[in-house]
Amino acid sequence: MTNSELLDAQWDIDFGTAKSMRYHAYRRSFWEMLDNWTKCLVVFSGTAVLVSIIGEKSLAATVFAFVVAFLSAIDVVLGFSTRARTHDTLYRQFCRLQAEISSVIAPTEDPLVPWRRRRLEIELEEPTTLDWLERRSAFEESKARGVEPRASWVLKWWQTLFSQLAMWPQITFAKPPQKR
């Protein structure tokens, strides 16, 4: 490989790793926020239920009891704190790889293969990737590096807003074939 090809290969691995760090930082923050809000709402609602039970049974007690049960069930099923820890672990693994890549100024072919292998090994541990959040992370990383982002990385404001919530399908509207 030429020196230019080596630098390009290192840049590609470096960019992908940095993008993944952004992605997992977003996912970790998202799950931590849900975990914290759920705990706060459960404590608030649980306190309201206790006050209502001690006083008199009311509609408020029933509503707050439902809120406690619902939030607790969602937390048990989705495991907010467990998911936050998973993304924190992945973020840290990508940071270690990033530090290793950054320590090499003039790459040779020797570290490229282990870096690619290590990145793929970390990606094996990833839960399902959210496309919009992946593209959002790539867009932000390209802007941070002063590189023109690909058109496919540019999201509408509402796609950015909902990028944490689900695996959204990629919808493209192709022109139907023309009759001849």
Given a cut of 90, whether residue 52 has pLDDT beyond it is no
pTM (predicted TM-score): 0.80
Contacts of 25 (CB under 8 A, 6+ apart): 87, 91
Element (DSSP H or E) covering residue 100: helix 80-102
138 within 8 A of 150, measured Cβ to Cβ: yes
Does residue 66 have a pLDDT over 90?
no
**Mean per-residue pLDDT, 137-143:** 96
Confidence class of residue 177 from pLDDT cuts 50, 70 and 90?
low
Cα gap 39→19, rounded to integer Å: 30
Please report, for residues 22, 151, 167, the alpha-carbon distance to residue 127 in angstroms, rounded to integers and kept in the order given: 15, 26, 12
- Between residues 166 and 173, the one the model is more confident about: 166
Q: Where do we find the tokens 């100024």?
A: 105
Encoded tokens for 175 = 């022109």
CA distance 22 to 8: 21
Does the pLDDT at position 59 exceed 90?
A: no
Share above pLDDT 90 across residues of the chain, in percent, rounded to a whole number = 60
Of 161, 154, 157, the C-alpha closest to 135 is 154
